[in-house]
A = this chain, B = another copy of it.
């Protein structure tokens, strides 16, 4: 049982709070039974698993775990309510977008910096998919604690890639002036390109797309949030492709 705050396994969890360390080490920490079970169910093998010594959870597919004094687990946790389990996984084990096996629809996110939005869009791609998610530089880290929670486990199932490797054709979603989404001429593939919450998509990114679409809004509304825009685009695409 781990009883010292200086334990190297707890130190590693602390280091993984920061994005730079997660990227450098290629690892991320994942808290709570629901998320850890989603990771195991998706076939990920944990690098380390720490459980609350006083209330260890029963998890399917979990072999060995190290017990930790509750106060120490609470101290390294990013959650308001400390978890019963915390596991470390390799970033390279997350599903990757492969050109020859890409889902027919997907989202490409341009500088979506809020981890809650990135996680929610992963959840939308999972629920309203199959769909991939491609991320530009400047997007929030999908393995940040807030993104993991918002994804509700979708991060372990949705293939992710880089913005520039997302397959075409690309449809820019803009707040005003594009083809109304229900009238868009859709083929059997589409990557919906979404901009940051406030700034939207820069002109050069819109110009690089094959089509420009707009979700019809009421006159007085300024815009939808980016997570809703992505969800509606995937709903509409799958509706028109006969789900």
Contact = CB atoms under 8 A, between A and B. Distances in A.
B231 A130 contact: no
Given A231-B231, A231-B232, A235-B232, A243 B225 contact: no
A223 interface: yes
The oligomer's copy count stands at: 2
Given A126-B218, A128-B217, A157-B220, A225 B120 contact: yes
A127 B235 contact: no
Contacts of A182: 239
Contacts of A120: 225, 228
Interface string A152-164: 1010010000000
Interface string A196-224: 00000000000000000001111011111
Interface residues of A, number: 32
A149 to B, nearest CB: 11
A17 interface: no
Contacts of A221: 126-129, 154
A242 B231 CA distance: 20
A127 B218 contact: yes
Contacts of A236: 235, 239
A216 B243 contact: yes
Nearest to A232: B235
Contacts of A239: 182, 216, 236
A215 B243 CA distance: 10
A129 B154 CA distance: 29
A30 interface: no
Nearest to A154: B221
Nearest to A41: B220
